[in-house]
Structure 1
Amino acid sequence: MSLLRTAARGMLASMFIYGGLDALRNPGPKVPNAEAVTDELADRIDQLPDDTEALIRANGALQVGAGVCLATNTFARPAAAALAASLVPTTAAGHRFWESDSEATRVQQTIHFLKNVGLLGGLIIAAMDTEGEPGVAWRAQHAIEHSKLLADHQKEVADLTAEVAKAKTESKAAESRVKAAEAAADTRVKAAQTKAAVIATAKQARRDAKLAAKAGRGLSRVVGLAGRTARAAVPPY
């Protein structure tokens, strides 16, 4: 925090600390003016105490405590907001220039009223001063946007994960179909090979049978020829 900002907060808080201490120590003279506000508030707020001096002291204690916090930069922004809230009834009760009969009194009270309005403006600025850091509204908006981006990212990740799982499932199914096709092809190839071997064996058997039959016929002719030759060689009696 800069030195200038520290000094400005201390100067802004000084009047409230002084006025709050005076209200705590000597609330009596302020009662007649305060009753114009407290009576009206009491008609609207049932829980508001009827003791005007107690209300003046409570307002003074608030101003002292919030003024010290503002001057020491301890919860400065909430302290400034609290002082701004306490200044409204204080101004409405203590500087009712519109009720003054004397011109001089009206002018004086108008000056004090406008002075308090200026203080109220300074307190509002102090309550909104983030010292260059992101404010609550910005942080809340940033958190909402970050949450949306995170949700979108998580949705994209989930979608991609689902697509990858689907692709893996389809790949496994395709691999199973390929393996089944390969097994069926192997079975058909083996069946074809077996059939070819059976056919080759049958053909060879037929060839062997033909050769055997041919050899048998040749042998029969040889035997017949030998018999005829033998009969011819025997002399007749």
Structure 2
Amino acid sequence: MIIKLLARPLLAAPFIAEGIDAVRNPKKHAERFATLEKPLTQLGLPPALSSDTEMLARVLGGVSAVAGLCLATGRKPRTAALTLAAINLPLVVTSNPLWQAKSAGQRKEFTANLLKGGALAGGLLYAANDRAGKPSLGWRWDNYLEHRADLKDTKQKLKARYRDDD
């Protein structure tokens, strides 16, 4: 319990800080989205949404800050962590285009940033999987079916037993 109280805010802190910075200073964050404009339109996002990169940076910054705050405070932490992972992964990959590195130093920097971003994404996915001791929906469904089958079997045995007694 105490580990969660420390780990969630520590994991959320960079997303809160980056999100607030993106809302306040969208120009430097908008440069990241310039590389995403073509893939976003290919995925079906209307050009009106992807063309205003400063607004997109502000919106994603706001979402990132709010999701980070939710994760840090424990309000819907699984949803918040999954939201942050979904935002983080594409940004990390596009912000560190390893395939476009022009020098060994730049390649090393991109690789380090990709690994850091991947580590954060891994932590977020781990946090999204934390059910706080509750069983998963899959387990609960299987358990329900198993008990239902057991009850049906017991009911049939009881009916057969009372029919035989008559």
Q: TM-score band (shorter)?
A: 0.7 to 0.9
Query: Structure 2 vs 1, CA of residues 43 and 155 (structure 1 numbering), >3 Å: closer, same or farther?
Result: same
Which is higher, the Rg of structure 1 or of structure 2?
A: 1
Query: Structure 2 vs 1, CA of residues 60 and 162 (structure 1 numbering), >3 Å: closer, same or farther?
Result: farther
Q: Is the 8 A contact 2:32 2:94 kept in 1?
A: yes
Gaps of 5+ in 1: 168-237
Gaps of 5+ in 2: none
- TM-score normalized with structure 2 length: 0.84
Query: Structure 2 vs 1, CA of residues 18 and 78 (structure 1 numbering), >3 Å: closer, same or farther?
Result: same
Query: Structure 2 vs 1, CA of residues 54 and 143 (structure 1 numbering), >3 Å: closer, same or farther?
Result: farther
Q: Post-superposition shift, 1:25?
A: 1.4
CA distance in 2: counterparts of 1:20 and 1:156, whole angstroms:
62
Task: Confirm whether residue 4 of structure 1 aligns to residue 3 of structure 2.
Answer: yes
Alpha-carbon deviations, 1:28-75, whole Å to 9, x = none?
Answer: 122233222232121221446232222222221221111111111111
Alpha-carbon deviations, 1:104-145, whole Å to 9, x = none?
Answer: 222212211110000111111111122333233322322232
Runs of 4+ in 1 over 3 A off after TM superposition: 150-157, 159-162
Task: Confirm whether residue 142 of structure 1 aligns to residue 160 of structure 2.
Answer: no
1:61-140 matched pairs, under 5 angstroms: 61-140=62-141
Residue identity matched to 2:15: F
Root-mean-square deviation (CA, aligned residues, Å) is 2.3
Q: Post-superposition shift, 1:14?
A: 0.4
Higher relative contact order (CA 8 A, sep 6+): 2
Q: Is the 8 A contact 1:37 1:92 kept in 2?
A: no
CA distance in 2: counterparts of 1:52 and 1:133, whole angstroms:
41
Instruction: Tell me how many residue pairs correspond in the alignment.
Output: 164
- TM-score normalized with structure 1 length: 0.61
CA distance in 1: counterparts of 2:133 and 2:72, whole angstroms:
19
Query: Structure 2 vs 1, CA of residues 28 and 161 (structure 1 numbering), >3 Å: closer, same or farther?
Result: farther
1:198-237 matched pairs, under 5 angstroms: none
